[in-house]
Amino acid sequence: MIKDLFVNKTGAEKAGIKGVEIAKIGSVARTTASHSGKSYDVEIVSMKAIKDGVEVFARAWDANGQVGFGDGTVDLERFIFINPPISVDDPNGDIIQDNGEFGINRFREDPQLAILQTLAHTISVKKQRFDGSKIIAGKVGSTTLTAFPFSGTGTAPMDGLPQREAVDQTFANIRGGAGTAFSNAAANNMGGLDGSTTTDQFSAMYRVIVGFDTSSIGDTDTIDIATLSVAGNGNANNTGLGDTNNDITTATPTDGANLAAGDFAVAQYGSTRLATGTAISAFVITAGTYNNWTLNADGRAAINKTGFTYLAFRTAWDVDNSFTGTWASSGRTLSVMRYAETADTTSDPKLVVEYSVAAAANHWLLMGV
């Protein structure tokens, strides 16, 4: 199994191994692929291992016929996957993860199904997706980048949960205080807040950092659309302090290979919202199903085309520096998401970036396929 090759390997080395092993599949005849309630017929024409991942050329069809990519004329789209998944959810799978209070998840290694499921979800969030009326046979697209954080510590960019917990403080003090804990468990809280038993005070605040290698985008290329996705873990949402949004801002960790409690410091987060927030009560909790946020112009500008991109999930109260909920003793307001520790699966956090190649290099090929 591929995971048997991971012994004593860094996150980047594991990503490279996955890319090589997935590329060995070569091609996949037209077949139905589904993820998060969306289904497409997908044909993989070819795959090639690249640094930290795999390059895939694929066609897709929906219920109305073939999908045209790019401006609608692209027949064969080029997809780049950084740190691609190799495992899928399976209630009878032999990969078992015990998430403590968040339950037990089971997976199985199936690299072909994993890349097909990932393609299906990536296609579903693409905005450059049209009917087939303008397709030019053989025309090849530029690139749709799908990046996943690296799991564990020691390899940037990773993800995790810096938090301030086990305190009894006013909102201003807990928000502005130093971090006291950090988690990079497979499943854990999103941005959230816990009330203490002292009136109008709080015991914990959570901030999520997710990191992605977006350096494969050309420095002169134009980012057209970007979508950030995280999956629920099947655990109920909490709104005990009142409902609020999980908003997205930038994050600037001290060391993207070793996130830590110290990365909770509010100075390391931006104050500009990068996407329209989703109410915690509306977060889809179904295990392995993605929730999607389309980044706005500020969000697209925050993507680092020459390095790593770090984004954060925080409550709207945290971003606004104002608690406008209803305090309740031991009340909690938060959701539970899956992190990159979830066994290299199709439900790890992901960033999909659609971009246009700079004019000088913006050409298309007729491939003999």
Whole-structure pTM value: 0.94
pLDDT at 153: 86
Asked whether the beta carbons of 122 and 146 are under 8 A apart, the reply is yes
pLDDT at 363: 43
- pLDDT tens, per residue, the chain with 369 residues: 999 999 999 999 999 999 999 999 999 999 999 999 999 999 999 999 999 999 999 999 999 999 999 999 999 999 999 999 999 999 999 999 999 999 999 999 999 999 999 999 999 999 999 999 999 999 999 889 999 999 888 999 999 999 999 999 999 999 999 999 999 999 999 999 999 999 999 999 999 999 999 999 999 999 999 999 999 999 999 999 999 999 999 999 999 999 999 999 999 999 999 998 899 999 999 999 999 999 999 999 999 999 999 999 999 999 999 999 999 999 999 999 999 998 789 999 999 999 988 764 444 444 444
For the chain, how are helix, strand and coil distributed in percent, rounded to 5? 20, 40, 40
Residue 333, beta-bridge partner list: 193, 239
Query: How far apart are alpha carbons 44 and 77 in whole angstroms?
Result: 10
**C-alpha closest to that of 242 among 316, 173, 177:** 316
pLDDT at 359: 62
Q: Can you point out the beta strands (E) in 103-244?
A: 104-109, 129-130, 143-147, 159-164, 181-183, 187-189, 192-195, 202-206, 208-213, 222-231, 238-239
User: What CA–CA distances, in Å, run from 215 to 146, 174, 188, 276?
Assistant: 12, 35, 28, 25
**C-alpha closest to that of 274 among 310, 243, 302, 307:** 302
pLDDT at 324: 98
What are 271-321's pLDDT values in tens digits?
999 998 899 999 999 999 999 999 999 999 999 999 999 999 999 999 999
